[in-house]
């Protein structure tokens, strides 16, 4: 019986020593305090999304959360009509750009950019429609408002008319 207790005690000592070493080797979060990583924090939160006009039609709910030591923003969209979508957003400290990759049923968006002079996040890239087997230039702008709301505006490039046209505009209001 003494042998069993000695082995248990030795095993417990090894586990304790390993956990102490592991705790000492746990890296400190890099992205929490590094420049650039907080540029999109104004979008983090739980949101009700409405049309950005007098009607204030309810479009859906959006949840923007931080993950992996504040290095990643995850977006989870749930539209009022049953649509859904998901994006990952991250700052690349090497290139100095933000990137969003959005995926929904039937299309995806991949674009990059950063804050403009007014403090709005502006990303440009491409939208891919799977059903149409097509792609188009696309851009998005997230503009923080003085009251804490955010206006999100998406535009698509109309190649036939050689101009940018409004694809979506929503007003983000924090959920209570």
Q: What is the pLDDT of residues 57-100, one digit of tens each?
A: 999 999 999 999 999 999 999 999 999 999 999 999 999 999 99
Domains of the chain as residue ranges with CATH:
41-174 (2.40.128.20)
Instruction: Answer for the pair 73, 91: CB distance below 8 angstroms, yes or no.
Output: no
Q: Quick check: helix, strand or coil at residue 5? A: helix
What DSSP string runs through 58-126? EEEEEEEEEETTTTEEEEEEEETTS-EEEEEEEEETTTTEEEEEEEETTEEEEEEEEE-TTS-EEEEEE
Specify the DSSP class assigned to residue 163.
Answer: E
Q: What tens digit of pLDDT does each residue of 17-48 get?
A: 444 444 456 666 789 889 999 999 999 999 99
The percent of residues above 70 in pLDDT, for the chain, comes to: 84
Reply yes or no on whether the pLDDT at 6 is more than 70.
Answer: no
Question: Of 60, 62, 66, whose CA–CA distance to 82 is shortest?
Answer: 60
- pLDDT class for 160, splitting at 50, 70, 90? confident
* The pLDDT of residue 30: 81
Residue 26 DSSP symbol: P
Q: Is the distance from CB of 167 to CB of 156 less than 8 angstroms?
A: yes
Report the predicted TM-score, pTM, of the whole model to 2 decimal places: 0.83
Percent over 90 (pLDDT), the chain: 79
Q: Which two tokens stand for residue 24?
A: 């000492």
């Amino acid at each position: 019986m003494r042998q069993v207790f000695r082995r248990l005690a030795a095993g417990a000592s090894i586990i304790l020593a390993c956990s102490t070493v592991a705790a000492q080797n746990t890296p400190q979060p890099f992205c929490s305090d590094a420049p650039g990583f907080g540029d999109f924090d104004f979008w983090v939160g739980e949101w009700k999304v409405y049309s950005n006009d007098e009607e204030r039609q309810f479009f859906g709910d959006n949840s923007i959360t931080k993950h992996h030591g504040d290095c990643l923003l995850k977006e989870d969209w749930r539209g009022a009509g049953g649509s859904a979508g998901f994006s990952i957003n991250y700052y690349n400290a090497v290139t100095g750009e933000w990137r969003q990759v959005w995926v929904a049923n039937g299309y995806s968006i991949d674009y990059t950019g950063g804050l403009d002079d007014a403090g709005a996040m502006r990303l440009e890239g491409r939208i891919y429609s799977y059903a149409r087997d097509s792609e188009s230039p696309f851009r998005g702008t997230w503009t923080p408002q003085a009251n804490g709301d955010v206006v999100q505006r998406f535009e698509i490039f109309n190649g036939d008319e050689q101009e940018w046209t409004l694809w979506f505009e929503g007003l983000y209001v924090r959920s209570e």
